[in-house]
Amino acid sequence: MKIIGEVVVYTDSLSKDLGAIIGVNGKLPSYSEEEINKFKENTIGKRCIMGGVTYRSLSKPLSDRTNIVLTKRNYTSVDGVIFCKSKEEVMELVSQPEDESDIVVIGGKEIYNLFKDEIDLWRVSYMSKQLELKEGDKVTRLPDEIFGRNRIVNSTRYETFRSVLRLKY
Ligand SMILES: NC(=O)c1ccc[n+]([C@@H]2O[C@H](COP(=O)([O-])OP(=O)(O)OC[C@H]3O[C@@H](n4cnc5c(N)ncnc54)[C@H](OP(=O)(O)O)[C@@H]3O)[C@@H](O)[C@H]2O)c1
């Protein structure tokens, strides 16, 4: 069983040295159909660990995947979702010998930080189009060092930007 960190990184022209941008104003700033297809390929059939903020940003749970959501909130049960109240609970769940499917940590920032020592490999995809940030934008960044040496950089630099309304994770 491997634990993989799956992350999409955005760039802007000014502040590369401040860290890798992973979100703007609590969302993904842009989307690419190719990247979403790649995300599906990398996660279908697997157990996906995410934080409550990322979970709430999805229109519905990820289909054909086990959604493991770390949250302090009391959710009522949702098909395909396992809610966990602590990292220990998540680790206990994913260590059950009866399920050996890979585990993918899909964000966001708090969750990448929380699991950084458990992640065996980072899969980092870059969006090549530079973001145009506006004053007052709340930018979520990860320090570049978090990816360490165990990283696979997706060779595709995703160019196609479309409305998320037409795309589904
Ligand atoms: N670029 C990418 O690949 C990528 C991927 C995913 C997300 N993102 C972006 O990242 C941003 C969100 O990141 P974030 O750091 O704000 O949120 P997050 O990591 O998605 O979720 C944080 C939440 O996780 C829960 N949590 C964290 N630590 C916990 C613990 N020890 N025990 C129990 N629950 C815990 C809490 O949920 P509750 O509030 O429910 O209690 C907390 O509010 C957004 O902009 C999103 O679009 C980017």
- Would you say 78 and 61 are in contact if contact means Cβ atoms under 8 Å apart? yes
| Structure tokens that stand for 161 in this block | 């930007």
Tell me, yes or no, whether 15 lies in a domain: yes
Tell me, yes or no, whether 169 lies in a domain: no
End-to-end CA distance of the chain: 24
Tell me, yes or no, whether 168 lies in a domain: no
CA 90–ligand 1 middle distance (angstroms): 15
**For the segment 134-145, what is each residue's pLDDT rounded down to a tens digit?**
899 999 999 888
> Residues with Cβ within 6 A of ligand 1?
7-8, 22-23, 26-28, 50-54, 57, 70-73, 85-87, 106-111, 114, 140
Residue nearest to atom 22 of ligand 1 (CA): 51
Lowest mean pLDDT of 26-35, 52-61, 101-110, 114-123, name the range: 26-35
The CATH number linked to 96 is: 3.40.430.10
CA 108–ligand 1 middle distance (angstroms): 4
Tell me, yes or no, whether 132 lies in a domain: yes
CA 110–ligand 1 middle distance (angstroms): 5
DSSP sequence for 46-67:
SEEEEEHHHHHHSSSPPTTSEE
- In 3D space, the residue among 118, 110, 75 whose CA is nearest the CA of residue 93 turns out to be 118
**149 SS3 class:** coil
User: Is the pLDDT score of 152 beyond 90?
Assistant: no
Give the pLDDT confidence score for residue 16 in this predicted structure.
Answer: 66
- Would you say 121 and 5 are in contact if contact means Cβ atoms under 8 Å apart? yes
Residue nearest to atom 24 of ligand 1 (CA): 51
Beta pairing partners, 68: 49, 82
- In 3D space, the residue among 26, 17, 54 whose CA is nearest the CA of residue 39 turns out to be 54
CA 111–ligand 1 middle distance (angstroms): 6
Provide the residue range defining the domain that includes 21: 3-162
Q: How many distinct structural domains can be found in the chain?
A: 1
Residue keyed to tokens 């749970």? 61
**For the segment 8-38, what is each residue's pLDDT rounded down to a tens digit?**
998 876 666 778 899 999 888 888 888 889 8
CA 34–ligand 1 middle distance (angstroms): 24
| Structure tokens that stand for 20 in this block | 């890798």
Backbone angles phi, psi at 70, to 5 degrees: -90, 120
Tell me, yes or no, whether 45 lies in a domain: yes
Residue nearest to atom 47 of ligand 1 (CA): 27
Residue 98 carries which DSSP code?
Answer: T
- Would you say 6 and 39 are in contact if contact means Cβ atoms under 8 Å apart? yes
Is the pLDDT higher at 157 or at 165? 157
